[in-house]
Chains A and B, each alone.
Chain A
Amino acid sequence: MTVDTVARPPSTALGGGTRTAFIVALVAALASLYPFGSLIVTSILPPLNGHPFQLWQQLFSQIPVGTYMLNSAIVAGGAMVLVSVVSCMAGYGFSKLPFPGSMQLFAVVIAALSVPGATTVIANYFNFASVGGIGAYWAPILMYAAGSTPFSVILMTNFFKALPDELVESAVIDGATYRQVFLRIMAPLAAPAVTTVAVLCFLGSWNDLLIALLWLPDPGQRTISVGVATLQGVRANSIDLILTGSLLSAIPPILAFILFQRYLVSGIVSGMGK
């Protein structure tokens, strides 16, 4: 046993047993494919007395999934753009432009990170209702953007803090305004961090159910998540059709994952901070 451990090849610095490791990893990877495989197979298998792809045909002919996808794109896209701009600006402000009380306000932003959406959803609903926000796209956009703001502002502030202050100062001494420094120097440098913030916000907003369910009650304004979730009430027996809709709803997030995987991991882990 002891001989075995000492004789581990240096290539497996964290220990031997490569074959066991390979088998476990293979099983885990195959299990991770299960949800995708099961959705795809369900969606293309012919239903009883039907033909292959019939479910896809039904989905597009019986349910306004195109409208649902568009609604999702509007609210998730809107929130993504808004939070990217707002958090990039705030990150620059909090890191490079101190003003009396800015530390305290930043502390409030950090504290806001630990307020669950379910805690504030009722009061938010009535506040938005009182200004005509229920049934209007801008309201869920604001809700999603605000929900992503604390994390995004912290991430952006940490990013800008790592850049030297001289970058701002020398440009200002050369006659640039702080707004120009932001637009011409800081924002372009922050592109990778903004991408992380944008993708995380998009995924969170696209995949949400609660806010879309409450804020957009008009059937024509349903997002795809709400469409899938409420389908089951209408057609309880056609779970396969709902699963086909689920697969459709998952395509944009899956594409975002494939394209931005490295931003996602670094972004999520950066939430560790401190």
Chain B
Amino acid sequence: MALPAIDSNGSGVTVAVRPRAARLRSRTGAVRLNGVLFTLPAILLVGFVIVLPLVQAAYYSFTNWNGATASWIGISNYLNMFADPELRRSLINSLSFFISVPFGLIPPFITAYLLHKDIPGNKLFRALIFAPTALSWVVIGMIGRQFFALHGPVSGLFGLFGGTAPNWLADGNYALAAVILTFNAAIFGINTVIFLTGLATVDRSTIEAAWLDGAKEWQVIAFIILPAMRRFVEFVLIITVVTSFTGLFGMIYVMTGGGPGSATMTLDFAVWRRAFSTGAFGAGAAIGITLMAMTLLGIALVRLVMRERNAA
């Protein structure tokens, strides 16, 4: 469209335009080529270490693969998740962790809310509360094991009040409670810090206006602060759900080894036990796929609940 105007200026300009168009064309080529080259390493990593094994796992989950031979057995591995007592227990335990998630959220929120008030030393408090996040699940599991040991601090507290403490980690029901408690204590720091980041984004003038209108503290929290930081609450929920389903292998490995019996086995622990302890790789793959499906369902559930809350 600009061409006639350029033409009227003389042929010299027209000559200058052509190479520019050609350069633009070759630049598109260069952009594409470089785009492929720069993203290729990441694509290869994701392709070979995440996408391909996922497809293989999906296939193996329908076989009785033992590491050497595999034959198609349909959905037996999946049905077995409900029939096999150990796997059924793992499923129930993973769901127990999932159900504990709201309890893992409320103390961090309250702490973050209180820390956000201008109290002396809140920077230091924040750093100290965040610090245990540096610890691995192995170390957390070891601390939990010592904490709930027969002659450990909890039992000592019992003795102080004249009671006789159970051997927490040796008793199935108590062991699961101890592991879930340790998990919730371990995520306290990171959740508090994320809530604090969220609180910092809430508009102060809205809150001040509410105070002036005579709103009560719980009203301000429920109707102004929580809706304003909805994305942060959703994020904390999602990472907590994902961790509770997929991140606990190290903690359970050292704290209870999944026991006593299968009392503290979760699905991610069961993948390891089935596949690498007993050689039932097909069954392990099916547990892994189930684990992923449950994680995705958990995330979808969080999104649904949060969206409804937002719409209401």
Contact = CB atoms under 8 A, between A and B. Distances in A.
A91 to B, nearest CB: 9
A41 to B, nearest CB: 11
B136 A225 contact: yes
Contacts of A125: 276
A21 B122 CA distance: 10
B130 interface: yes
Contact of B211 (A8, A42, A147): A8
B193 to A, nearest CB: 6
A271 B291 contact: no
A135 interface: no
A120 B53 contact: yes
B125 interface: yes
B174 interface: no
A122 B211 CA distance: 57
B291 A119 contact: yes
Contacts of A247: 139
B254 A29 contact: no
B142 A114 contact: no
Given A90-B41, A228-B138, A253-B136, A32 B117 contact: no
B116 interface: yes
Interface in A23-82: 24-26, 28-29, 32-33, 35-36, 38-39, 42
Interface string B103-125: 00000001101111111111011
Contacts, number: 309
Contact of B124 (A29, A85, A92, A272): A29
- Chain A residues touching B, majority SS: helix
Interface stretch (B2-10, B73-81, B156-164, B281-289): B281-289
A14 B49 contact: no
B136 A87 contact: no
Contacts of A8: 211
Interface string B31-61: 1111111110111011011111110110010
Given A36-B131, A119-B288, A269-B194, A12 B117 contact: yes
Nearest to B110: A24
Interface in B123-154: 124-125, 127-140, 142-143, 145-147, 149
Contacts of B168: none
B25 interface: no
A40 to B, nearest CB: 12
B78 to A, nearest CB: 14
A234 interface: no
Interface of A: 1-2, 5-6, 8, 10-18, 20-22, 24-26, 28-29, 32-33, 35-36, 38-39, 42, 85-87, 89-90, 92-94, 97-100, 102, 105, 108-109, 112, 114-127, 142-143, 145-147, 149-150, 153, 172, 177-179, 182, 203, 206-210, 214, 225, 228-229, 232, 239, 242-243, 246-247, 249-250, 253-254, 256-257, 261, 265, 268-269, 271-272
14 contacts: A14-B220, A18-B118, A25-B121, A25-B125, A32-B128, A87-B42, A146-B48, A172-B27, A210-B249, A210-B250, A228-B142, A243-B146, A253-B134, A269-B232
Given A93-B35, A118-B246, A210-B250, 13 more contacts: A22-B121, A26-B125, A32-B129, A36-B131, A127-B53, A146-B49, A150-B46, A209-B137, A239-B149, A253-B135, A254-B134, A257-B130, A269-B232
